[in-house]
């Protein structure tokens, strides 16, 4: 028996990385999947890998009309929605004094407004029978990070939004949590890295696992998918309003040697 048998799940950013690994893991645990991403070909590929219990949706999570259509398509296809996993996100290093208004808006609109829109249109469906929301935040939602001011702001916002939803919708039998990954080996930095010189790219890649991570490596996306399954399953039936770190110990404290 799977942990998500018979559940209808919608995952955004599911063409790649954490979302893709989660879609495959959710399916393996018995869920049916709406695989949503603005990379339509990538979403279709993941849906094909899952088989008959999945279909792909093209969506830009920062656009209200797209997100409304995404939720309607899921309910139209499967009849209801049980699990909403708002996971799509972008990350482009920058600094406040050089960032354009458009760059700020893009990060906030995808990472934070996208989560709001998913909840805005997903909640009325979840309220019909109860369900689960999982929003991908980050350790950058819990502390500041050098060179990621807009990203940090967006992820702090996701955690605050999720905690508020947990309070407001517990009465509808809806749980809402955040997954806070640390460093995960995905393509999220690829567009930003592509703009750099080869030497600078090497330097940045070497810094992807900061010296503050006790488990001294980046995670495989599957190591995010497994906690995502847990948080969306009845195993987590008493867990809500929580920012769950899957970060190799990053948020455990500072590593410094006293002896
Ligand atoms: N990789 C990490 O180290 C890390 C760490 C902490 C948090 N996260 C978060 O995990 C989530 C998933 O990222 P990932 O690492 O798997 O990266 P990824 O780039 O592999 O996957 C992100 C997916 O989101 C999609 N996407 C981006 N903007 C979109 C939009 N506007 N509409 C629809 N789809 C969109 C992309 O096409 C891509 O398929 C993000 O929210 C990210 O901020 C990642």
Q: Looking at the 3D structure of the chain, how many domains does it have?
A: 1
pLDDT above 90 (res 165):
yes
Alpha carbon of 111 to ligand 1 centroid (Å): 9
Residue 144 forms part of a structural domain? yes
Between CA 161 and CA 239 the distance in angstroms is: 16
| Ligand 1 closest atom vs CA 63 | 31
**Looking at residue 177, which CATH number applies to its domain?**
3.40.50.720
| Ligand 1 closest atom vs CA 155 | 43
Four-CA torsion 110, 115, 120, 125, nearest 10 degrees: 120
Share of the chain above pLDDT 70, in %: 96
**Who's near 14: CB < 8 A, 6+ residues apart?**
20, 22, 23, 33, 35, 36, 37, 43, 46, 87
Alpha carbon of 240 to ligand 1 centroid (Å): 23
Between CA 192 and CA 91 the distance in angstroms is: 8
176-218: pLDDT as tens digits:
999 999 999 999 988 888 888 888 888 777 766 666 788 989 9
In this structure, the residues whose C-beta lies within 6 A of any atom of ligand 1 are: 12-13, 15-19, 37-39, 42, 59-62, 87-91, 110, 114, 136, 138, 181, 183-184, 186-188
Is residue 172 annotated as a catalytic residue, yes or no?
Answer: no
* Percent helix, strand and coil across the chain, each to the nearest 5: 45, 15, 35
The token duo for 152 is 């940090």
83-86/8-12 β-pairing: parallel
CA-based torsion, 158, 159, 160, 166: positive or negative: positive
pLDDT of residue 197: 86
Catalytic residue, chosen from 121, 151, 169, 172, is 151
Share of the chain above pLDDT 90, in %: 86
The token duo for 179 is 């997954």
Q: Are 10 and 36 in contact (CB under 8 A)?
A: yes
User: Buried b vs exposed e over 146-174: b needs ≥16 C-beta within 10 Å?
Assistant: eebbbbbbbbbbbbebbbebbeebeeeeb
User: Buried b vs exposed e over 43-63: b needs ≥16 C-beta within 10 Å?
Assistant: bbebbeebeeebbbbbbbbbb
Q: Are 74 and 81 in contact (CB under 8 A)?
A: yes
Alpha carbon of 152 to ligand 1 centroid (Å): 14
Q: Atom 43 (ligand 1): residue with closest C-alpha?
A: 89
70-113: pLDDT as tens digits:
999 999 999 999 999 999 999 999 999 999 999 999 999 999 99
Residue 126 forms part of a structural domain? yes
Residue 16 forms part of a structural domain? yes
Ligand 1 site-directed mutation target among 89, 150, 208, most atoms within 8 Å of CB: 89
Residue 209 forms part of a structural domain? no
Residue 136 forms part of a structural domain? yes
Q: Phi first, then psi: what are they for 216, rounded to 5°?
A: -80, 60
pLDDT of residue 194: 86
pLDDT of residue 110: 98
Residue 177 forms part of a structural domain? yes
Is the pLDDT higher at 223 or at 192?
223
| Ligand 1 closest atom vs CA 111 | 41
| Ligand 1 closest atom vs CA 183 | 3
Residue 38 forms part of a structural domain? yes
pLDDT above 80 (res 259):
no
Residue 256 forms part of a structural domain? no
Alpha carbon of 87 to ligand 1 centroid (Å): 6
**What's the domain range around 38?**
8-188+220-247
């Amino acid at each position: 028996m799977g942990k998500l048998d018979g559940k209808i799940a919608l995952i955004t950013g599911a063409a790649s990385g954490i979302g893709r690994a989660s879609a495959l893991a959710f399916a393996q645990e018995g869920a049916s999947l709406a695989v949503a991403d603005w990379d339509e070909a990538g979403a279709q590929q993941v849906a094909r890998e899952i088989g008959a219990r999945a279909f792909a949706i093209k969506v830009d999570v920062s656009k209200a009309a797209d997100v409304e259509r995404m939720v309607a398509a899921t309910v139209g296809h499967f009849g209801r929605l049980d699990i909403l996993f708002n996971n799509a996100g972008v990350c482009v290093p920058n600094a406040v004094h050089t960032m354009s208004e458009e760059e700020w808006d893009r990060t906030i609109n995808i990472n934070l407004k996208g989560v709001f829109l998913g909840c805005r249109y997903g909640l009325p469906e979840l309220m019909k029978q109860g369900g689960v929301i999982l929003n991908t935040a980050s350790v950058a939602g819990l502390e500041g990070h050098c060179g990621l001011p807009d990203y940090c702001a967006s992820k702090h916002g996701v955690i605050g939004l999720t905690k508020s939803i947990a309070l407001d919708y517990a009465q509808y039998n809806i749980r809402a949590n955040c997954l806070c990954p640390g460093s995960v080996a995905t393509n999220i930095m690829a567009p930003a890295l592509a703009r750099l010189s080869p030497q600078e790219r090497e330097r940045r890649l070497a810094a992807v696992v900061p010296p503050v991570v006790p488990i001294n490596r980046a995670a495989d996306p599957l190591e995010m998918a497994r906690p995502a399954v847990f948080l969306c399953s009845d195993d987590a039936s008493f867990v809500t309003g929580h920012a769950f770190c899957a970060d190799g110990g990053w948020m455990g404290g500072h590593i410094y040697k006293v002896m």
